[in-house]
Structures are given as structure tokens and as C-alpha cells.
Amino acid sequence: MPSKPAVHATAPVPVTATVPVTSARTLFIDGVWQAASDGATFEAESPATGRVIGVLAGGGRANAAEAIDAAAHAARTWGRTSPFERAAALERIATTIEQRRDGLARALTEDQGKPLHAEAYGEVDELILYFRMAAADATRIEGLLPPSVDPAKRVLVYRVPKGVVGVITPWNWPYTMPAELIAPALAAGNTVVWNPARLTSLCSVALADCIVEAGLPNGVFNLVTGPGDEVGDEIAGDPRVAVVAFIGSTRTGHRIAERAAGKELLLEMGGNGPLVVLDDADLEAAVRATITACFLNAGQSCTAGERVLVDRSIHDAYLELLVDTVAREVRLGDPLDGATTMGPLNNERTAGKTEHQVAEAIERGATLHHGGRRAPQHGSALFFQPTILDRVTESMEIAREETFGPVVPITAIDSEAEALALIESSNYGLLTAVFTRDLGRGLRFAESARAGWVNINEGTNYWESHLPFGGRAGSQSGLGRVGGRFAIERLTELKTIVVNLA
């Protein structure tokens, strides 16, 4: 049982489709909703309309240090609670999310920009799954009883929590990404200090409020909204933080790794893994998968189909079918409209990068077959047309780096060996997909591809939340694995106890 009751007073104004956060009490530290210590605030803007939809607390280093202090104090008792008690708390979180499904989905659409019906509800449902899965995993954390050289001794090996886990998350999946870290961290008996992306802090507060409702002991879960270069930096560098878990760009991940030197790191970073269509592929299936790979969340995913490698013998047929299907089925528009399948990009930096990479590719010889421009008539300058580029080469930036926008960059290849060579030459190694009717050939390709995850006859944006997900060793895509018990293994450590029966 908690040593002192969790405090839920002074909670922020609820996040709904019509009531924005305006209290600026969006820091949750040691069981209390509060404002930034210096009174700083920042505005949340809708990427679809540009209007202000909330005002949030701009926490800083002092607030981060206060949250870490609370988490370090709570870690002494939370890690010793029964796994079944922790599981019950996670089930309460899942139930609250379920009850607030509509409001959470609307908040996600307004704050991040993804279509309400096509995507936002799905992310909320996945959020529920993560907490329910972590609740089950909490009761399955097992140890070992290895033999001793001395027959009078017994050796016990336990999995124990590591302590304070600093969680730093991105704006592209503001529910799913935090859940795949926070849920297993709490399940394993760790305490959490969470710094969400500033760009989607409004819906992060909505999620945090669901966690708060579970009645966790004070200090077990803490939220500090504010700039990552202050809050995240403080979390990464504080010696009381045992684990730094980060999801985001490779560049930021490297800075965090340097700041957190000597700590346990769980890093999920960038990807550029291609979707490969071999000469015997089912073209219709490959085209369907390409659309999901490149246009889900408007292409703003580390597992997006950032490159599409198509065998030259079927290239023309694939391209023709793709252009026709995109023109008929991909609907850019108001993310609250039920007919919309793709919403705006989340921010100007991403929109500008997408615009630059498309223009640079065309200048270097790529052929534009669809889209290629912004579409401000839909409500803001962040709407970007679904885009198809052909004749993409290695000399183009769009082939080498993450675009994070709604673009299909197509390159014709002459063999699967060429595809594997292109994968090998990339700095990334997160996720790859291959299409072929020959499952033996697909499996051989998958085993040879330098990536942490390979899908056969499924797109690059397909994953399952309980499976180990992360980048290949030596790549720029990360370190460690998230996903169910695999995350819990990273967030616990082995403790050995020797008992002398004599």
C-alpha cells in the first residue's frame, strides 16, 4: 500500500474537443498538478487550423529536478510492491483510457493532426492494449535458481527494478510511444519522469490525467511539460535517473546518449528502411502496403516507407497501379472529417524538410507523378499533397535521410542482391519490408537484410506491440528493444543472492 495517498487536487482543465487546457497547471510532480516554477507557459496550436487550442506550463530544469527527487523517493517503496498490485493499477489506467476514448482521440487529432476516424481512434485503442499488456507482464517477471558449486548453498537470482526511468518522447505518436515505455516501466516497479514533445503536450496531458486517476503513490509517475533541451537534458544528466528511455530523431538521441553516459539506455531512433518489391510480388498487395507505409500519419513515422525499391521488370505496372490507387483513395483534408484519410503535417520544420527534399530530388532528375506541393486550401500551410516520385537515386537527399512526410520515393532495381546492397549501405537499420510470392525467397531476404525487423508481404508500418522492436546493432536506429516483456527485461536487472544453509 502507498505510504501516503496520491493527490488529485488542482488538476488541469480537462482536454476535450471544445475545452482547451488553459490553467497552465500541466506539470504533475509528486502527486500534485502545478504550474512551472517560474510561471513560464507556451501555446499549443492545431496543425490543421493554426489556432491556439491550449496554454501549458513551460517547465524547466528546476521542475525536472523536483520531479526526479520525487521519483527517487518513491522508488524505494514502489519497487517492493506486489506485482499484482502494480498490475491492478495498470488495469485501472487502461479502463480510464477506455472510458475517455472519444476525448483522447479528439485531443490527439486537434494537437497532432492525424485523422480522427482513420487513425486517432486506432492509436487510443493501441494505448489501451499497451497498459493491459504491461499489467499481464507485471505478474510474469521471473527469476532463476541456478546451482551452486557448494551443495550447502542455494542461489537465488531475481529481476528487480532499476529505479527512476526518464522517459523522453516524440510528437508523431504521442500516445503509443510513451505507452511502450511508461507502461512496462511502471509494471517492472520503476518510477517515471516523463518529458513529452512540446509540440503535442496537450494530448500528453490528457494521457497523463488517465494515469493519475489510477491512484499511484505520490512520485511514482511525474510529468514535466516543457522544452526538451532543458527538461530532457536535465533528466538525461541527473545521476539519480537509472535509465534514460528515448524515442525520437537520431540527432537528438545521440545528444541524449552523450548526456546520459554511464546510464542504461533504451533508444528508438530514426529509420530509412525500404519497402522492396521483387519481380514475383503480388502487385496489388504491394501497392496497398505502400500506401499505408508512406501515408499513414502523413508519413511521420520512423517505420515509414522512406524508400521503395521495385524490380525493373514490374516497375511500370507497379507505378501505374500506385498512381491510380493514390488518386482514388488517399483523401487529404480536415482531420475531423470522417472521409479524410490523411491530415496535415504536424509542424513547419517537417513540412519545410519535405518540401525541400521533394524539390531537390526533382532538380536532380526524379520524376514527379503525383502531388509534390503544399495544399493550404485545406486549412493551414502544413497540409502536403500525397506525393509519388520515380527515378530516385542515391545522390538525392530523399534516398539517404528520413523525410518524415507523405512521399513515395521509387527506385528501380535489377535484383534482390542490389536491394540488399542498398539496405547494407544505409546508416539506418530499423525496419524493412519485402514482397514476393516465394516465401522461401522472402525468408532468405529477411535473414540477410540489415534491420532489426523485417516484414514479408506486409508493409513497413506494421508491428505488434508485444514483439521486440528496435534498430540493428551498429546502425543509427537505436539501442535496445521495446515491446512487452522485452522492454521489461531492459528496465530491470538481475540481482543474485546466495544463501548458506549450513
Of the residues 110, 213, 234, 268, only one is catalytic, namely 268
Contact by Cβ (8 Å): 56, 24: yes
Nearest to 25 by CA among 53, 1, 2, 57: 57
Beta bridge partners of residue 344, listed in sequence order: none
Q: Break the chain down into helix, strand, coil percent, rounded to 5.
A: 40, 20, 40
SS3 at position 110: helix
The Cβ-side half-sphere exposure at 415, using a 13 Å CA radius, reads 3
Beta bridge partners of residue 413, listed in sequence order: 311
Q: Position 324: which residue type? A: D
CA angle 170, 92, 204 (to 5 degrees): 20
Of the residues 302, 306, 402, 416, only one is catalytic, namely 302
d(CA 70, CA 213): 18
d(CA 419, CA 163): 43
> DSSP character for 431?
E
CB neighbours of residue 376 within 10 Å: 12
- Residue 302 annotated in active site: yes
Nearest to 58 by CA among 42, 34, 77: 42
Which active-site residues does the annotation give? 268, 302
